[in-house]
Amino acid sequence: MDALLTALADPVRWRLVELLAERPRPVGVLAQLAGARQPQTTKHLQTLERAGVVVSERIGQRRINTLRPAALRELAAELSRLADTAEQAGGPGATHEHYRAGMRTERHAATQAGWADGRSFGFHRRLADRPELVWRHLTEPALLARWWSPDDLHVCELVFEARPGGRILQVYRDAEDTDGRDATVGRAEGTVDEVHPHERLAYRLSPLLPDGAPAFTAHVALTCRPTGTGTDLDVSWRITDSTVDSADFVAGIETGFGQSLDKLAATLTADAHDNVDTDPTTGSTK
């Protein structure tokens, strides 16, 4: 595939492919129609033949060049697959496009300080574990770091002091920046307001702009309620102190925090499955 793409990248070779798509032709005619010299045309045809898109054979006293449609169909199928992947419903590409549309809307609305004050968001997740374990994932930094980030980021530094007045610090990197070579892409700081173990947690958190100033203040409250099979988690967000430069952050709240909660739910489900005790002699759960 690489050889084919390289071969087709040259405009003269692409013109030769177009001419051969119309009909098989000898090199002299191709050179005339392409407006090129015959020696250079011969070299281009050899490159296309090595790439598998052209076949050259002697017929009588002429050497005729023929296009191999299968090679182009294989390339077209691969390009179509890539396009389908990028446009996959609910995939990263579609999510990013949704975020870009949200940014345009929010940037248009962000005309003065306080423009997003009072904006609120609500989230609900039914989690597959008891409130005590959910609470640990909401308050212990090592467990928080497993889920508290959108899909395209990961937490590289986290402080969460689960007490009233406790400090919160989040620092993010790109999800694929595993060795820390790239710059950090986000930072947020805040303070814990309320702690009612296994029931309610409230805090204020501000994402920081590149100059270190707060973009806005998020007032976040998380409420846990036991169910027969696990825990219902309700989360409320409310924005205050919004700056004109906070539009991009506001645009990402619904998708970004929603993805974080989805990761929390998946983490708890996986942990619940892994922690099931199994009798090694019968294979049955205890």
Question: Using CA atoms, how far apart are residues 187 and 207, in angstroms rounded to an integer?
Answer: 6
How many Cβ atoms from other residues are within 10 Å of residue 249's Cβ?
25
**Ramachandran sector of residue 147 (left: φ over 0; alpha: ψ -120 to 50; beta: rest):** alpha
Would you state the pLDDT for residue 86?
84
Kindly state the tokens that stand for 236: 């409320």
Give the residue carrying structure tokens 């102190």. 241
The verdict on pTM exceeding 0.85 is no
Mean pLDDT on 116-128: 96
Mean pLDDT on 69-87: 91
Would you state the pLDDT for residue 286?
42
Residue 162's SS3 state is: coil
Q: Which of 251, 252, 243 is nearest to 217 (CA)?
A: 243
pLDDT level of residue 88 (50, 70, 90 thresholds): confident
- 134-183 tens-digit pLDDT: 999 999 999 999 999 999 999 999 999 999 999 999 999 999 898 888 88
Would you state the pLDDT for residue 275?
64
Would you state the pLDDT for residue 281?
43
Q: What angle do CA 130, 252, 102 make, to 5 degrees?
A: 135
Question: Using CA atoms, how far apart are residues 217 and 214, in angstroms rounded to an integer?
Answer: 7
- Distant-in-sequence, close-in-space partners of 50: CB < 8 Å, separation ≥ 6: 3, 7
Question: Using CA atoms, how far apart are residues 126 and 225, in angstroms rounded to an integer?
Answer: 10
Would you state the pLDDT for residue 29?
95
Mean predicted lDDT score pLDDT of the chain: 92
How would you classify the pairing of strands 186-196 and 200-207?
Answer: antiparallel
pLDDT level of residue 285 (50, 70, 90 thresholds): very low
Kindly state the tokens that stand for 277: 């005790």
Domains and CATH numbers, the chain: 2-81 (1.10.10.10), 113-273 (3.30.530.20)
Distances (CA, A) of 164 to 42, 146, 161, 168, 181: 78, 23, 8, 11, 36
Question: Using CA atoms, how far apart are residues 258 and 248, in angstroms rounded to an integer?
Answer: 16
- 171-212 tens-digit pLDDT: 999 998 988 888 899 999 999 999 999 999 999 999 999 999
Q: Which of 135, 138, 105, 140 is nearest to 119 (CA)?
A: 105
Measure the N-to-C terminal CA separation of the chain; round to a whole number of Å: 53
Confirm if 250 and 117 have CB atoms less than 8 A apart. Answer: no
